[in-house]
Amino acid sequence: SIYMYIHVYTVRMEKWIFYHIFGLFAAVHIYRSSSILNILSVNDSNVTSRVIDYLPNLLIQLDIGEALSILSLAIVFLYVVYLLYKLYQAVFGKTFIIFKQVDRDVGYVITPGRTKRDIANMVRRRKRIGDIPPPYPNGWYEIMRSEDLPVGGAKAVSLIGQHFAVFRRENGQVSIMDAYCPHLGANLGVGGQVRGNCIECPFHGWQFDGETGQCTSIPYASKVPSFAKTKVWPSLEINGFIFIWYDVEGREPHFYLDEMPEIKKGKWAYKGCTVHYVNCHIEDIPENGADIAHLKTVHETGVQAGSKVDYNLSTWIGRILTHHWKVNWEALPPPQAHIGRMTLSMNIKLFGKWNIKPFDFHVVVDQIGPAVVYLRFKLLFGNGAFLQTIVPEEPVMQRLTHYIYCDWWIPTFLATWILLSGDAIQIERDAIVWGNKTYVSKPVLVKEDNLIVAHRRWYSQFYSENSTRLSFKKEDEAAW
């Protein structure tokens, strides 16, 4: 816990270190100064008036030393307010952590003389993609959190090879349309205005109904043609998120995401999230749930060793805490055939011998469709869930987000600095593999890998006859 606190705190606060030092120096200066302390130490109700009377004399006399004392007092006051605010955030606030925000990628081995961005681009060019399945399976995909779209708000969103205009109508309902106006192609999500339950194009003022997509008004035309309309995509707002239904065949949703009653009733509070960008096919990520053998190789070493691949059990730091797993994966029968369920129990042992019982971790992981996961966990100090979403921003570039909800009384620092950050370390270990592997459509397997076969068979239901596939102009060059 101490290690995780130091690790995450320094990662997120290192740019503020100057302010911490400045505040401490100001406090030392006040401690060494006498005049201002003498005024503040008077125990009566006229301290405020004494300070007010003192300031003009200070300015007239231009006493630099006393002026520095007043300035230091102001700095210390602001510094204390800042620390109290951060303490409030640590207990009650929400945390948003984007790991590798600048590089947008994790899982690349550093080469001397090259930046991470250069290495990431080089790996993408040279990586053998393999005979991958269609990059955009049919199912539900996250658009954004509900709180990010107020009534009357409109945004442009790009994912799964499509561009969308997302807006919240005045009746509170969310609409998702094709982004580009059928008139002359303006993006409705960029500068478009919500008018009642319609969105107005920023280019010529055409208005489209948020429910039907039909054009309802053209300000300069005497008649609105019936064929003036745009596509409205099926959407779902649940658990504080907005999702879009994608089906290349144009079919209506045949399964839905479940509502979490703990979130709806306020028993679980949102504590924060992590975002990773991973260079791989979307199916590589959920397939991990059925790949039980990789847990010992990749995840047995405790989180204290970090995400680096060279911190394994052969190092002393890797042997301090170790993870031990009991895992099973199964595809649920109809009518829940769209759910793949993993049950997992994890024990943490000290030096591989002594079980630390308070840190036993029991989870039920439901993969609902191709891109949404509910991971419910039980701990000694409370319960909660990770909500994982995978969004293909490009055919082989995934935005992997983990949101954490837990009992409202669990402090934010415990949920984020321990659970969320520990989870992020495990993700980055996988990302090192995902970002550098190729997809093998016909792998060489042993009988102990039977769950991988079962998972691929289950996941194939989200592809259909017309699912978009990548073609290849020449070896390793992907094209549409």
At 421-435, the pLDDT tens digits run: 888 888 988 988 898
Region of residue 196 (left: phi > 0; alpha: psi -120 to 50; beta: else): left
Q: In this predicted model, what pLDDT tens digit does every residue of 290-344 receive, in sequence order? A: 999 998 888 888 777 777 655 566 666 777 888 888 889 999 999 999 999 999 8
β-strands 361-368, 382-394 pairing: unpaired
pLDDT score of 361 more than 50: yes
- CB-based contacts of 271: which residues, under 8 Å, 6+ apart? 94, 95, 404, 405, 406, 410, 412, 415, 416, 420
Length of the chain: 480
Q: What is the pTM assigned to this prediction?
A: 0.77
Quick one: which of 24, 64, 69, 94 has its CA closest to 403? 94
Q: Show the CA angle centred on residue 132, arms to residues 128 and 133, nearest 5°.
A: 170
Mean pLDDT of 128-155: 91
Q: In this predicted model, what pLDDT tens digit does every residue of 163-175 receive, in sequence order? A: 999 999 999 999 9
pLDDT score of 144 more than 90: yes
pLDDT score of 87 more than 90: no
β-strands 268-278, 95-98 pairing: parallel
pLDDT score of 114 more than 60: no
pLDDT score of 243 more than 90: yes
pLDDT score of 4 more than 80: no
Query: CB of 466 within 8 A of CB of 249?
Result: yes
Asked if the bond preceding 335 is cis, omega within 30° of 0, the reply is yes
